[in-house]
Copies of this chain bind each other. A is one copy, B any other.
């Protein structure tokens, strides 16, 4: 697949997903412009151009979008748990600047916005498993409501102004450049703690099931979404397989070569017991499928953490 001739602005290019998406877009031949805070890892893949600004800085955003054909929107909150304490923060930090972004895309003549939504939070606890895109959306986090609202504004701008879009409802991504100590990035956190021989903290009894997807597969879904010529716009992006936290911890133990210690903490209200996405639509209509091997993905994650000790201090 070639993206030659396409100019992609990646919002949030310096973050975990952003760094990986920029690398994949560049590899596919796109011209890539980063927007946001710079990556904290010196070895992160370079992009052709960079605009360092905060989301909500509409002047900087207008500059960034000039001449762009595609916008990859990765910004907007990072934590499903924290925002529940003050739900209005999600509105001001995410929904409002996202609407501003769509206005700017329209003004600058961008042809398509690819938005990374959250397959793990938009559906809510009563969704069928695996969860298809047609399931009801009843989020139990302000984070999920924010993602859902941005999806709806994308639909509105498409309807009113023919601004094209793709929404990717991504499951739980993991892999190189993921750094987290705030309740997200379970695999990064657990892997680092296993390496350090420190206890892994989990909420609940470890039976919670998630759909962990390697970041290369997510980045490839973004590339497919830029190139896509179909008429479907909303896609689940997951691994196609659910794994309990205990299964993941056991697999990490195998990869690290020791049995991790686990501290069990009480379950969190924002946690859904089982979240696994149905990815048939993406397989058939986006021409995408997850390709990564589970164990090899864990090994790559381990190797990156070992090579980047700066990540350790964040965990």
- A contact residues vs B (CB 8 Å cutoff): 84, 87-88, 91-92, 95-96, 99-100, 102-103, 124, 134, 136-142, 145, 148-149, 152-153, 155-156, 159-160, 269
Partner of A96, one of B92, B142, B148: B92
- With A and B bound together, what is the CA distance between A55 and B100 in angstroms? 24
Would you call B149 and A156 a contact (CB within 8 A)?
Answer: no
Would you call B87 and A91 a contact (CB within 8 A)?
Answer: no
Cβ contacts under 8 Å, A138 to chain B: 152, 155
For residue A84, give the distance in angstroms from its CB to the closest CB of chain B. Answer: 6
Sample of 16 A–B contacts (CB below 8 Å)? A84-B160, A87-B102, A87-B153, A88-B99, A88-B103, A91-B96, A91-B99, A134-B136, A140-B156, A140-B160, A142-B153, A142-B156, A145-B149, A148-B149, A159-B269, A160-B269
Would you call A148 and B159 a contact (CB within 8 A)?
Answer: no
For residue A70, give the distance in angstroms from its CB to the closest CB of chain B. Answer: 22
Would you call A153 and B145 a contact (CB within 8 A)?
Answer: yes
Cβ contacts under 8 Å, A124 to chain B: 155
Protomer copies: 2
For A88, A103, A134, A142, which residue has the most chain B Cβ atoms within 10 angstroms?
A88
Closest 4 CB pairs of A and B: A145-B152, A140-B159, A88-B99, A149-B149
Would you call B152 and A156 a contact (CB within 8 A)?
Answer: no
For residue A50, give the distance in angstroms from its CB to the closest CB of chain B. Answer: 27
Would you call B152 and A139 a contact (CB within 8 A)?
Answer: yes
- With A and B bound together, what is the CA distance between A91 and B156 in angstroms? 14
Would you call A87 and B145 a contact (CB within 8 A)?
Answer: no
- With A and B bound together, what is the CA distance between A269 and B159 in angstroms? 8
Would you call A139 and B155 a contact (CB within 8 A)?
Answer: yes
What residue of chain B has the Cβ atom nearest to residue A135's Cβ? B136
What residue of chain B has the Cβ atom nearest to residue A122's Cβ? B152
- With A and B bound together, what is the CA distance between A152 and B269 in angstroms? 16
For residue A152, give the distance in angstroms from its CB to the closest CB of chain B. Answer: 4
What residue of chain B has the Cβ atom nearest to residue A99's Cβ? B88
- With A and B bound together, what is the CA distance between A102 and B145 in angstroms? 15
Cβ contacts under 8 Å, A100 to chain B: 88
- With A and B bound together, what is the CA distance between A206 and B114 in angstroms? 37
For residue A76, give the distance in angstroms from its CB to the closest CB of chain B. Answer: 14
- With A and B bound together, what is the CA distance between A138 and B156 in angstroms? 8
- With A and B bound together, what is the CA distance between A101 and B27 in angstroms? 49
Kindly list 7 other residue pairs between chains A and B, CB separation below 8 angstroms, not including A91-B95, A139-B156, A140-B159: A91-B91, A95-B95, A138-B152, A140-B155, A140-B156, A141-B156, A145-B153
